[in-house]
Chains A and B, each alone.
Chain A
Amino acid sequence: MKVAILGMGSVGKGLLRVICERDLGLAVTAVADSRSALMDRDGISIEEVLEAKRMHGSCGDTSLTAMDVVTKGTYDVLVEVTPTNALTGEPGLSHILAALARGRHVVTSNKGPIAREYERLRRCAAEKGVMLRYEATVGGAIPIIHTLECGLAGNRVLAVFGVLNGTCNYILSRMAADGLSYEQALLEAREMGYAEADPTYDVKGIDSAIKLVILANTFWKKPVQLEDVDVTGIDMLTNDALRLAEEQDCTIRLIAEAIPDKGILRVAPRTVPLSHPLVVDGTLNAITIETDMAGEITLIGRGAGSVETASAIIGDILFIRDFYEGSHKKAP
């Protein structure tokens, strides 16, 4: 199966390394970053392109763009791993729309387009009979979308509760465990490379809300938007509040919650019993799903990271390959 990759940051490079190291039956026929692109229908040398990126900061020909790859490249699946823009979804949105219009499958870790335009993208994919998969957008390595769509197929999802932002969880864990103030814990998260220079999206709960929208659109019958989410961040939390919670064997975590029957779509710090499965440490993510048949299921795992995110992307690519291989076999 031929794969084109847009974006050579932490995720793109991690993915390239994994494809290079493992015999997955995948050939990379194109890559692009913000300034250049490289295409070869017979497959490019991953080692060489990683080396070029390391040496020159760009991966290929500066006269080519990511959009050239999308519209002219040879590939079965486009992997879109450019930066998330929660307001416009760009540049990912245009890349994905163009690939779907060409009848190509798309796999992405880019939250922007999926949170902003899921309905439109889903319809485009359906019209062309191709797949759009986005496992890596929520919960990093945790196969939450597969679990909702495949593992729990036929269930009615009654509620989803999640710890979806590793940075906030790290800050809250540190405040609770070592009595750091909010400011100290945030500073530490930055030093450890967990928090962005501008942590607003994380600590104000927006990143969690974006992921909640993606989850809700996956299992909720009606399409939802970022504006539908009631969002409260963690930036006002105090050590005293954590201590008051601890006196009752609880702690405080930023929880994203979707309950279709009650119309609840909310991100807010909540008190949670210390024994609750959603109380995970450090940058871990955790998601509890409640359904009518399966009851309660909690998935815990790494919510970010280069190889962890690559794991989710590879899972999506191989899912698409196996799905269509299966249908070819059945054809006369």
Chain B
Amino acid sequence: MKLEMRDAPGQLVAALRPISEVGGNIIAVIHQRNEKSDKGDTLSVQIVLELPDNRLSDLVRLIREQGVNILRIGHERLLYEKTVIVIGHLIHTDLGDTVDRIDSTGFAEVTGLNISMPAITQVSSARLVIRAVNREDMEQAIEILRRVSKEKNFLLVEPLEGIE
């Protein structure tokens, strides 16, 4: 996101503090001084950050409360990640198709695939990394995977997570 603030001591820190308050993680901060503005000396700052689900609106409110102007909020990227293990006759049953079914949703994608293949008659095991924008989309992607696993007789091993 791109922010605009008065070029005065403490302003940048004040603008960044809410990010950790909402549990976010700053990946990069790029700032430029002396941008033309009619409000006097301002600083414009671009921040790349990682946020827990659904905290963006809280963050926006908290930053505004600091008297900082938000010029632009960029696109949310696929940041929610889950790793699962799938066991079965993955190759015979076309693993590509399984991956496609998730990718074709448009809201989640398989970003990593690690497969072990023993003898041709034996079952193979694969680790899939799935990414989605938020928890709901991830849950839907996993639901698809559960359905495919039932259909193709795979054993799907999901990660144990708390209740959140």
Contacts and interface: CB of A to CB of B under 8 A. Distances in A.
Contact of B116 (A243, A250, A252, A259): A243
A248 B116 contact: no
B83 A241 contact: no
Nearest to A238: B125
Given A232-B155, A236-B155, A241 B85 contact: yes
Given A237-B155, A240-B118, A243-B116, A255 B160 contact: yes
A278 B160 contact: yes
Given A241-B85, A259-B163, A252 B157 contact: yes
Contacts of B114: 244, 247
A244 B118 CA distance: 14
Contacts of A158: 163
Contacts of B157: 237, 241, 245, 252, 268-271
B58 interface: no
A276 interface: yes
Interface residues of A, number: 31
B85 A252 contact: yes
Contacts of A257: 160
Nearest to B122: A238
B126 interface: yes
Contacts of B159: 250, 270-272
Contact of A290 (B84, B118, B160, B163): B163
A278 B159 CA distance: 13
B107 to A, nearest CB: 20
A244 B125 contact: yes
Contact of B162 (A159, A241, A248): A159
Contact of A161 (B83, B123, B160): B160
A241 B87 contact: yes
Interface in A129-178: 158-159, 161
B124 to A, nearest CB: 7
Interface string A271-287: 11000101000000000
Contacts of A296: 162
A159 B127 CA distance: 27
Interface of A: 158-159, 161, 232, 236-238, 240-241, 243-245, 247-248, 250, 252-253, 255, 257, 259, 261-262, 268-272, 276, 278, 290, 296
18 contacts: A158-B163, A236-B88, A237-B157, A238-B118, A238-B125, A240-B124, A240-B125, A241-B157, A244-B126, A245-B127, A253-B160, A270-B158, A270-B160, A271-B83, A271-B85, A271-B157, A271-B159, A296-B162
Interface of B: 83-85, 87-88, 114, 116, 118, 123-127, 155, 157-160, 162-163
